[in-house]
């Protein structure tokens, strides 16, 4: 682990409003990346802070702000952000994006770039992403390449984007190759200048989307011991039902602690360059998950009306497959897979899926994953509670065991 990752990282939970430099945010996490450092604020009513954040982090003279909006979020949320930006002296423009994996495309990025140019958006003017991970990823990508990079603020409105996608500067789009959608095949690293995780925005988020976000939280808990929060696994087990019931205090702590894990991982390995660990560990469950996510007929409960799988649901299945693979090669303690499956089930997430194609089909999809290096598969596998490792070239039989573990007959 890099030296930065060994330093204590700044995570604050405010018991009293106004207690820290975060004003009245319930919590904050510093993402420590030298001159690209920024804060993630967590709490209610934070959208009204976006103007002040943009004003304080953008160069004097920045005059315009462009808001990219998820077309599913309530209009009141958009107005709150726009009013805050206008109150801070920005002229605002907006564009809505449909949040779908097929729409997470270069075509959408191109449309955004043209819209920025049409409003004469300048080099120091901020772009604001107001939506889930899809809007955050395409907006960040467009902001990262427009005029070789303009300031970018993340205002995540899904649990998944609050705890994961909005933090760390990975942006991108999917690419269709030979008729198949390849996830996140193009993109740039472009860190935001700030993240506002306004918990009020979760009020309109469907329960299924909330559960999908909880899958990434389980993933974080499964690596948290190596990234400064060894108690996160136990805490998540203890509060599963309260989280599903959207208990505000528990949700706040969940977001702050999960962002803390992600921030620490990113601070230690911003560009995923650490051999055998670092940021690559965040891909726990994702190699299997990415392989099955584009299989449009799969659904979390076998009901075709609920197809396709959401990203978080595919990750939940991927976590189970990773546990079974690790168990098969003897690298994780017995019982871990059962504990993970039971937590995922309590959180209403799938642990088996009906309609999985023949292993050869999924193995081919896995072989095309970005994490394959020089033709050798590299899988992130758990090695105990709160710990994971990168395993190079795992035996094919073990990977097949992973697939069998999630196959529902
Ligand atoms: N950049 C990263 O580091 C990173 C990390 C994890 C995931 N991702 C990406 O994030 C994407 C998944 O993100 P997601 O789970 O947020 O999905 P999403 O962006 O598709 O949003 C989920 C759904 O919720 C809707 N929505 C968003 N906010 C809402 C709100 N407040 N109220 C009502 N509806 C709302 C959206 O319109 C969409 O239908 C994937 O494309 C994944 O690859 C990126």
Q: What is the CATH number of the domain that holds 394?
A: 1.20.1090.10
Specify whether 267 is located in the same domain as 399: yes
With CA atoms as reference, report the closest residue to 13 among 352, 188, 348, 256: 256
Q: Which of 25-29, 177-181, 307-311, 373-377 has the lowest mean pLDDT?
A: 373-377
Which among 205, 229, 244 is the end of a domain?
Answer: 205
Residue 26 in domain: no
Tokens of 290: 């990415």
Specify whether 271 is located in the same domain as 365: yes
Q: What is the DSSP string of 134-172?
A: HHHHHHHHHHHHGGG---EEEEE-SHHIIIIITSS-B--
Report pLDDT digits (tens) over 37-74: 999 999 999 999 999 999 999 999 999 999 999 999 99
Question: With a 6 A CB cut-off, is 269 part of the ligand 1 pocket?
Answer: no
Q: Residues of the chain with pLDDT > 90: what percent?
A: 87
For residue 11, name the pLDDT band (cuts at 50, 70, 90): low
With CA atoms as reference, report the closest residue to 232 among 260, 212, 213, 211: 260
**pLDDT at residue 17 in the model:** 34
**DSSP collapsed to 3 states, 21-67:** CCECCCEEEEECCHHHCEEEEEECCCHHHHHHHHHHHCCCCCCEEEE
Of the candidates 72, 174, 258, 283, the residue annotated as catalytic is: 283
For residue 373, name the pLDDT band (cuts at 50, 70, 90): low
**pLDDT at residue 25 in the model:** 79
If one counts the domains in the chain, the total is: 2
Report pLDDT digits (tens) over 313-323: 999 999 999 99
CATH number at residue 198: 3.40.50.1970
Specify whether 246 is located in the same domain as 367: yes
Specify whether 125 is located in the same domain as 141: yes
Residue 28 in domain: no
Reported pTM = 0.94
Specify whether 120 is located in the same domain as 241: no
Which among 186, 205, 224 is the end of a domain?
Answer: 205
* Most ligand 1 atoms within 8 A of CB, residue of 77, 78, 133, 315 to mutate: 133
Which among 183, 205, 227 is the end of a domain?
Answer: 205
**pLDDT at residue 182 in the model:** 86
Burial of 104 (0-12, 13-18, 19+ CB in 10 A): buried
Dihedral pair phi/psi, residue 130, rounded to 5°: -120, 95
3-class SS of residue 323 = helix
Distance of alpha carbon 66 from alpha carbon 61, whole angstroms: 15
Residue numbers of the domain that contains 195: 33-205
Residue 17 in domain: no
Report pLDDT digits (tens) over 117-172: 999 999 999 999 999 999 999 999 999 999 999 999 999 999 999 999 999 999 99
Q: Which residue has the higher pLDDT, 183 or 273?
A: 273
Neighbouring C-alpha atoms within 13 Å toward the C-beta of 394: 27
* Most ligand 1 atoms within 8 A of CB, residue of 74, 160, 174, 272 to mutate: 160
Residue nearest to atom 21 of ligand 1 (CA): 132
């Amino acid at each position: 682990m890099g030296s930065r990752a060994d330093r204590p990282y700044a995570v604050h939970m405010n018991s009293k409003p106004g207690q820290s430099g975060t004003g009245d945010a319930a919590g904050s996490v510093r993402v420590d990346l030298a001159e690209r450092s920024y804060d993630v604020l967590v709490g209610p009513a934070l959208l009204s802070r976006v103007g002040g954040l943009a004003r304080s982090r953008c160069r004097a003279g920045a005059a315009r702000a462009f808001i990219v909006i998820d077309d599913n979020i309530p209009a009141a949320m958009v107005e709150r952000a726009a009013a805050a930006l206008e109150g801070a002296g920005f002229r605002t423009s907006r564009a809505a994006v449909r949040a779908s994996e097929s729409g997470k495309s270069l075509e959408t990025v191109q449309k955004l770039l043209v819209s920025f140019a049409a409003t004469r958006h300048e080099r120091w003017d901020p772009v604001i992403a107001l939506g889930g991970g899809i809007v955050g990823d395409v907006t960040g990508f467009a902001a990262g390449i427009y005029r070789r990079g303009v300031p970018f603020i993340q205002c995540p409105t899904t649990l998944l984007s609050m705890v994961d996608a909005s933090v760390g500067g990975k942006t991108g789009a999917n690419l269709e190759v030979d008729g198949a959608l390849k996830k996140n095949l193009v993109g740039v690293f472009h860190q935001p200048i700030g993240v506002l995780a306004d918990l009020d925005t979760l009020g309109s988020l469907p329960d299924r989307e909330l559960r999908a976000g909880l899958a990434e939280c389980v993933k974080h808990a499964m690596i948290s011991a190596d990234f400064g929060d060894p108690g996160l696994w136990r805490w998540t087990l203890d509060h599963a039902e309260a989280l599903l019931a959207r208990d505000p205090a528990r949700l706040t702590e969940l977001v702050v602690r999960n962002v803390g894990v992600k921030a620490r991982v990113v601070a230690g390995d911003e560009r995923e360059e650490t051999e055998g660990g670092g940021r690559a560990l965040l891909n726990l469950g994702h190699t299997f998950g990415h392989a099955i996510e584009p299989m449009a007929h799969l659904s979390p409960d076998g009901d075709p009306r609920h197809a396709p799988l959401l990203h978080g649901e595919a990750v939940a299945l991927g976590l189970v497959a990773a546990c079974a693979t690790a168990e098969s090669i003897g690298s994780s303690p017995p019982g871990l897979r059962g504990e993970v499956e039971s937590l995922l089930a309590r959180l209403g997430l799938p642990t088996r899926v009906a309609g999985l194609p023949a292993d050869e089909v999924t193995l081919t999809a896995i072989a095309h994953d970005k994490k394959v290096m020089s033709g050798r598969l590299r899988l992130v596998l758990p090695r105990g509670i709160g710990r994971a490792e990168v395993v190079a070239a795992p035996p094919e039989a073990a990977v097949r065991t992973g697939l069998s573990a999630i196959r529902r007959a």
